[in-house]
Amino acid sequence: MNNLRTLFFLAILSLYHLNANSQSSNDISSIALFPQQNEIRNTINLSGIWRFKKDSLEVGEKENWQNGLTNYRSIAVPGSWNEQFTDSRDYLGMVWYEKETYAPSTWRGQRIFIRVGSATYAAKVWINGQLVGKHEGGNLPFAFEIGSYLKWDSSNRISIQVENLLKPTRVPTGEVKGGPFTNFPKSNYDFFPYAGLHRDVWLYSLPSIASIKDITVKTGFTNTTGNVEVKIEAEGKASKGTVILFGNGKRFEVPFSLTNNQATVNVSIPEVRLWSPEDPHLYTLDVSISDAKTTLDHYSLETGVRTISKNNKQVLLNGKPIFLKGFGKHEDFPIIGRGSSNPVMIKDFALMKWTGANSFRTSHYPYDEEFMRMADREGFLIIDEIPAVGLYFHGDTTELAQRQVICKQYLNELITRDKNHPSVIMWCIANEPFPKDLSVSGGGGDRSASPKSIELFKELFALVKAKDNTRLATLVGVMGGPKEWVGLGDVMCVNRYYGWYTHTGELAAATKLLHLELDGLHKAYNKPIIITEFGADTYPGMHTEQSEMFTEEFQVEFLKAYLDFADQKDYIAGMHVWAFSDFKTGQGIIRFGGVNYKGVFTRDRKPKTAAYYLRSRWNK
C-alpha cells in the first residue's frame, strides 16, 4: 500500500512539475540551441548592471514589485549576489532583479524569447508586469516566448524574482537533519551555496514562418571514413532543407525533405580527421530550412567526429585506450562567486593545459555553455554532472519523490543542452549520495544500498540511455558508500580520501586500503574505475622540512601516493585531483576561513608546489 501511495504521488508530482514549468511554452527543447546571431536570427545580451532589491519578507509579488522597483541598488549580471555586497554573504532568501530594454523595431513579426542562462535556485520572470513563466533548478538555462508581452514604442521592463532557500526537497539538498555536514549556511554539500543570476540573460528572435527547433548530432567512423548523423527538428511551414558540413579542406552538402517537421541526414567523410585531446579538430555544421522559394532559417554549430566506449578496464576514445588526467573543479572566483567570467575561463584552461591535464568533471553542477565550447576547441574530456549532490534515501518518502522528479528534469535539460559537444564523454547522475548512518572509517562499500535507492538510480540511468546512447553514464560514490551504487555505471567513479579524513597522515596505510578496496570493487563488477576525487587541504605557503598535513610538501606526497597506486592498476582509467583550485565553502570547523584548500592552485589561480609536481609528472 505504501508503494502504491508513493507511485501515485510521483505521478501527480510529475504532472504538477511539468505544468509549473510549461507556462509560456517553456518546453525543454527551447534550450537546445544557444542563441545565435546571423542574417535571419537576432540576439541581444542583457548582461551588465541591473537593479536589485531584497525581498526577505516575500511581499514583492503581492506589492507588485514586478511593476517597478523602488529603493533598489545596482548589481552585476552575471554574478553571485553573496559576493557583491557587504551585507548579503549568507542571505539566500528572495530577491528581485530588474532591467529595461527596447525591442528593436526590425524584430517585429518575429518570435521573441528571453533566455536565462542560470538562476539559482528558483525563478519567476515578468515582462512589463505580466508573469511569463517560472523555473526550478539552478545551473541550467530556461527560455520563454515573450513577443505578446512586449511594447514596440517604449522601453520594456524585465523583472526576475530569484530565491535560493535551502530545503531537503531540493537538489542539491539543504537543511538536512542528521546530514554529514555541520556548516553554515546549512547546505548539505561542501561548497558555498551561491545565489543569483550566474550566467548571461539573452533576448533572441526566431523567424515566425518556420524555424529550426533542435539539432542532434551523432558521430562515428569505419576505418578512415567518418559518419555524421544529423537529426533536425523544425516547427512551422518549411518543407525541405540542406545540411552543409565543412572542415579540413572539405565540403559536403546533403539536401533533405521534412516529414512532420523532422528529418535525419547522414554525411560520410572520407579521410576523416578525428577529434581527440591531441588534435581537437572541429567540423562546422550548417543546417538550413526553406520552402519552395527561399531560406527561412539556418543554424551553425561545431562538431567533432569521435566515439567513446569502454571495456572492462579502460575508457576508449576512438577505439583506443585513453587515461583521464585532470581535476574536479568549481565555478568559483573572488567577487564574482559562481558568476560566468570569460577571462577566468580562459585562465583555467591555460592552467589545466600547463599541468598536462586532459579532462575534468563539472563538479557538482553543469558549467556555463561557453566552458563546454571551450573544451571542444581545446580538446578536453568532460564528465558532465547534474547538481545531484547530497542525495539521501531515508526519511520522508514525499521528499524523496520530489528529489527524483527534479533529478529527471536536470538530466533532460542537461542532455538537451550539451548533447552535441564532442568534449562530453560521460553523464554523471549524482555525486556522493549517502546511506543512512554513513561511516568513512573503514573500507568503501561497507554499507548496503536500500532496494529503493537502487530502483531510483536505475530509473535515472535508464533515462540517460534513452536520451543518449552514444556516451557513458556514471555515478560518483562517496567513501564508505554502497558499492552497489557505483556498480550501476558504465564506469565506476569513486571519491577517496584515505590518508586525510581517515588514516590521517598515514599514506602507507591509505594506499594499502586503496589496494584492498578497489581490487575488490573491480573483481565484483569488472568495469573500469576512475578516482574522481583525491586530495589534501593545503594552506598556501605553509612549509616544513618534514612533510606534515596542511603543508605543500604533504599535498605533493599525498598526490604522488595515489598516482603511484594508479600506475600499478590496469583497471584504473583516470585520476581527477580534488581540486583544481581552492574554493569558497560555508563556515565550519574543518573549513578555515570558509575555504576548501585542496586546490593545487589558490582561489586566485596562483600555483602551489603540487601544481608544479603535476606538471612535471603529467607532461612526461
State the average pLDDT over residues 472-495: 96
Q: Which of 302, 432, 517, 557 is catalytic?
A: 432
Do residues 387 and 424 share a domain? yes
Do residues 231 and 178 share a domain? no
Could you give the number of structural domains in the chain? 3
| 133 three-class SS | strand
Mean pLDDT of the chain: 94
Domain assignment of residue 564, yes or no: yes
Do residues 586 and 506 share a domain? yes
Do residues 79 and 146 share a domain? yes
Domain assignment of residue 549, yes or no: yes
Strands (E), 359-464: 359-361, 381-385, 424-431
> Tell me, what CATH number does 563's domain have?
3.20.20.80
Cα–Cα separations (whole angstroms), residue 81 to 159, 195, 514: 16, 6, 41
Q: What is the pLDDT of residue 441?
A: 54
Q: Is 456 in contact with 484 (CB distance < 8 Å)?
A: no
Domain that holds residue 425: 313-618
Residues 6 or more apart in contact with residue 73 via CB below 8 angstroms: 51, 52, 53, 85
Q: Active site includes 533?
A: yes
Q: Which of 152, 168, 199 is the last residue of a domain?
A: 199
More confident of the two residues 50 and 440: 50
Q: Which of 385, 533, 552, 557 is catalytic?
A: 533
Q: Which of 199, 220, 236 is the last residue of a domain?
A: 199
Q: Say if residue 620's pLDDT is above 90.
A: no
Domain assignment of residue 39, yes or no: no
Do residues 238 and 265 share a domain? yes
- Taking only the tens place, the pLDDT of each residue in 145-178 is 999 999 998 999 999 999 999 999 999 999 998 7
Do residues 548 and 503 share a domain? yes
- Taking only the tens place, the pLDDT of each residue in 67-99 is 999 999 999 999 999 999 999 999 999 999 999
Cα 208 from Cα 187, distance rounded (Å) = 44
Domain assignment of residue 38, yes or no: no
- Taking only the tens place, the pLDDT of each residue in 394-414 is 888 999 999 999 999 999 999
Give the other-Cβ count within 10 Å of 403's Cβ: 22
Do residues 498 and 608 share a domain? yes
Q: Active site includes 432?
A: yes
> Tell me, what CATH number does 240's domain have?
2.60.40.10
Do residues 79 and 123 share a domain? yes
Q: b/e string for 471-497 if b means 16 or more Cβ within 10 A?
A: bbbbbbbbbbbbbbbbbbbbbbbbbbb
Do residues 470 and 601 share a domain? yes
User: Sorting pLDDT into bands at 50, 70 and 90, what band is 26?
Assistant: low
Do residues 216 and 296 share a domain? yes
Domain assignment of residue 217, yes or no: yes
Do residues 393 and 436 share a domain? yes
- Taking only the tens place, the pLDDT of each residue in 574-618 is 999 999 999 999 999 989 999 999 999 999 999 999 999 999 999
Do residues 175 and 255 share a domain? no
Domain assignment of residue 523, yes or no: yes
Q: Is 576 in contact with 359 (CB distance < 8 Å)?
A: yes
Q: Which of 157, 178, 199 is the last residue of a domain?
A: 199
Strand order in the sheet with 73-77: 73-77, 48-54, 95-101, 156-163, 122-127, 130-136
User: Sorting pLDDT into bands at 50, 70 and 90, what band is 439?
Assistant: low
Domain assignment of residue 205, yes or no: no
> Tell me, what CATH number does 67's domain have?
2.60.120.260
Domain assignment of residue 42, yes or no: no
